[in-house]
Structure 1
């Protein structure tokens, strides 16, 4: 399906500039009809026969790297400077949206691998990674060779690759999908971030299904307003054009109708008032039980995933898989076979007499949800360790502070990924929210800049029956400081303390 981008290419390992220039929205001068077999926006990846796409990025302009691209063998440049027909001796093609052209062209050169695949996209503020894992588990239970791409990594038939972004760049995705096709993959599920949609990283992908999990404040440092953030998320639903496809939205989210209105294919909902619901939910200390009610029948569920937020994630996975024709008993089997998700309410169990949970929650809504889930399984004091990332939306910091005070009994405010900002100033922003909500330092919380020290202090404070929730970084095995990126894993720090005590 190519309607969203207004043009498409037949599968090709090579393409000519005239073929590209004949498409709507692309202009070129009287350049020789050169062929190219590779396209990239990264000048370091240019090879002989490449078309270099010069993109105005957040911090750099690809036009500054045209000389390097030429030296490495680029045959032409695509960019968005009007009336430019040549640069550095190379033909220059104009496109209003070079990123979109990059994506569609990269997939065409890769043979349009998603054309014969069922591709499921998952968007939302929270729950994307967990939903991807759940859908992948169901697909595996169904016996379908599958791939999963997202924050937790890129997995193709069990082979895992590290994830530099929630959604890779367009040319990387084209290569990943081609590899998946070569390995016989028939179904793929992927996280689709708002950044990826705005930057057209998913251009060229034919989505058969889409899930909307929820939307709360995040990434306003990039999008500016919640309205713009929402508008980017909705674009995923607009891309699902296959009449055999399905879109799925969280009926409990106040923005659900916006996604329903954007859908061009059959639409399902999940949640308290949705097509797929959970009844008689029982939250245990090590499992969750509920009755699954769907348009395809009812079934009892027992899952190792804890918390009401995970019940919601499960319902979203059920709805999209059911909508794609997966039998209900297969769906249930896939859910129950998934025992844990890395860094998502992950239980650190070394036979200690208190609980340690590590979670990725890094928004106020995410923090509220995991604190609620932690409270349900905590018989003693709920101790929280958390922080906020630097060079990101500052307005959510006091909100997270307020959420931390309300949801925990005592919290340690510490560094997350401060990046280029002063860790102390970030913590001051968080503290404003805590104090505005009535919190007192030393009585309700304390501030420890060093994350290792903060985790150690929280664990030292814990008594029998208490629960220590370490939030913000989840699966991450690094910390980004002003001096650079270092190895850091909350789970490793906790286990090392337990071993040494």
Structure 2
């Protein structure tokens, strides 16, 4: 139980209070921004969202027993205690944090942002922090983890109240730290307001989500918020860990008001990988770090994962891990779901499933494949519907530039015509074919058939890359979600080949 007055205190210096009325000492039993979840004694926070305006449901919330309301716009029918603020969406996170006992203040909070690499970095980071001792929670694209409990992820970064509830569960579950993927959407939508981070990691910035952010500068500014937000005064010993090989890294580092460690392979950095050796069985390199230089052996594949490991090593060293703890923990990370995940069903060629769904991620995947291939590269990929259309021809161009066979197919077409999406991808394919005329391609809109086509085309020694969905076990067609797992479909297609033979 907490009073409205106690909750509103969390907004001081963060969100301006414009008006308040009624008894602020009213006790509150719950907090929600969903009028359907209101119960007697709840605080209802009316948030104006992208599609739904919570102010329209204030009367419904009151009828369901809401004891008080926090809102942004003046609404005449409020007959109970209320507080009007300048930004109710931003206020939601601070109110939730206070209601759930300021859980981020009781955890070491690691936030990871960037276009690509967040998930793998978070998994490695969790393993390294656990090597120090204590339990580590994980919030990310694949799932939310609290000890042995695994919760399916609704978003890469959950909504403001769901996030605070998860962090409280981590505190209650005796976690000492939480590792979070922090999406640009979550930063722009203030889903992490009220959450104070100890370490922020920047992986890279390449084109994605421009259907939401509109420009690359707007996208950058959203990512930057994680780093400018490190200046909170409640927690000491903060640090930013930034990829200095990415063009946006130097800019982020220059704008940080806390100590920065850079990491990279190409240029001078605080954490640097040298003598990198890549194979299908894993990766080795020498890590030159502020704590010393030491060898790293990992089951993870590809140069892009060297960056992810360097970032995680930086976090672990900052948090007090020894070199021996880091070395031992890195070797325990065998794979990350849907990230260069091999499908092995007895076939004489390599099959890899990967989440790569941006131009940069596809280039990274193909670059890794080029370094490891024995035969041809066969790439199966598509682009999501109702999302950034500008990246479609770019992904088509990238696929042709580093593949021998390209099969265009559906990703999550959503409400768009799948063939229309493929036509836009094909523009980039045709452009790249002017320099790489030996590459063959075809359009197979049905993803299951596209994967089967790739398997039938594969020869011994070839590498089949199935990109775009990775860990996802569904496909969205229209407004409906259907079960679909690239890994399962690939195994079925391989078994069919074996049966036919």
After TM superposition, the score normalised by the length of structure 2 is 0.94
Q: 1:278 aligns with which of 260, 273, 277?
A: 273
User: SS in structure 2 opposite 1:73?
Assistant: coil
Where do residues 5-404 of structure 1 align in structure 2 (5 Å cutoff)? Answer: 13-17=1-5, 20=8, 23=12, 25-33=16-24, 34-81=26-73, 84=74, 86-241=76-231, 242-272=235-265, 273-404=268-399
Shift of the alpha carbon at 1:258?
Answer: 2.1
Q: Could you give the per-residue CA deviations for residues 106-130 of structure 1, whole angstroms, max 9, x where no partner exists?
A: 1111111121210100000000000
| Cα distance between partner residues in 1 of 2:390 and 2:445 | 20
Give the corresponding residue for 1:478: 474
Bigger CA drift: 435-444 or 179-188? 435-444
Query: Does the 8 Å contact 1:40/1:51 carry over to 2?
Result: yes
User: SS in structure 2 opposite 1:419?
Assistant: coil
User: SS in structure 1 opposite 2:21?
Assistant: coil
Query: Does the 8 Å contact 1:85/1:93 carry over to 2?
Result: no
| Cα distance between partner residues in 2 of 1:442 and 1:294 | 44
Query: Does the 8 Å contact 1:291/1:299 carry over to 2?
Result: yes
| Cα distance between partner residues in 1 of 2:28 and 2:255 | 36
Cα 1:219/1:475, change in 2 over 3 Å: same
| Cα distance between partner residues in 2 of 1:384 and 1:471 | 7
Cα 1:328/1:409, change in 2 over 3 Å: same
User: SS in structure 2 opposite 1:357?
Assistant: strand
Query: Does the 8 Å contact 1:345/1:358 carry over to 2?
Result: yes
Query: Does the 8 Å contact 1:246/1:324 carry over to 2?
Result: no
User: SS in structure 2 opposite 1:27?
Assistant: strand
Q: Could you give the per-residue CA deviations for residues 320-370 of structure 1, whole angstroms, max 9, x where no partner exists?
A: 221222111111111111010000000111221000000000000000000
Give the corresponding residue for 1:494: 490
Give the corresponding residue for 1:7: none
| Cα distance between partner residues in 1 of 2:62 and 2:437 | 59
Q: Could you give the per-residue CA deviations for residues 400-450 of structure 1, whole angstroms, max 9, x where no partner exists?
A: 010011011111100001111111111111001111223699962100110
Query: Does the 8 Å contact 1:372/1:407 carry over to 2?
Result: yes
Cα 1:19/1:482, change in 2 over 3 Å: closer
Q: Could you give the per-residue CA deviations for residues 172-221 of structure 1, whole angstroms, max 9, x where no partner exists?
A: 11111111111110111000001111111111112110000000011110
| Cα distance between partner residues in 2 of 1:483 and 1:325 | 47
User: SS in structure 2 opposite 1:315?
Assistant: helix
| Cα distance between partner residues in 2 of 1:485 and 1:494 | 20
Shift of the alpha carbon at 1:52?
Answer: 1.4
User: SS in structure 2 opposite 1:459?
Assistant: helix
User: SS in structure 1 opposite 2:137?
Assistant: strand
User: SS in structure 2 opposite 1:239?
Assistant: helix
Query: Does the 8 Å contact 2:454/2:464 carry over to 1?
Result: yes
| Cα distance between partner residues in 2 of 1:16 and 1:468 | 58
Residue 446, structure 1, aligned to residue 434, structure 2: no
Shift of the alpha carbon at 1:496?
Answer: 1.3
| Cα distance between partner residues in 1 of 2:381 and 2:307 | 24
User: SS in structure 2 opposite 1:186?
Assistant: strand
| Cα distance between partner residues in 2 of 1:16 and 1:76 | 8
Query: Does the 8 Å contact 2:128/2:330 carry over to 1?
Result: yes
Q: Could you give the per-residue CA deviations for residues 21-66 of structure 1, whole angstroms, max 9, x where no partner exists?
A: 8845112243233332322212222222122122221122112222
Q: Unpaired segments of 5 or more residues in structure 1?
A: 1-12
Give the corresponding residue for 2:424: 429
| Cα distance between partner residues in 1 of 2:460 and 2:100 | 57
Shift of the alpha carbon at 1:86?
Answer: 4.0
Q: How many residues align?
A: 487
Shift of the alpha carbon at 1:300?
Answer: 1.2
| Cα distance between partner residues in 2 of 1:56 and 1:29 | 19
Query: Does the 8 Å contact 1:15/1:109 carry over to 2?
Result: no
Bigger CA drift: 385-394 or 325-334? 325-334
Q: Could you give the per-residue CA deviations for residues 351-401 of structure 1, whole angstroms, max 9, x where no partner exists?
A: 210000000000000000001111222111100000000111100101001
Shift of the alpha carbon at 1:89?
Answer: 3.4
Cα 1:131/1:18, change in 2 over 3 Å: closer
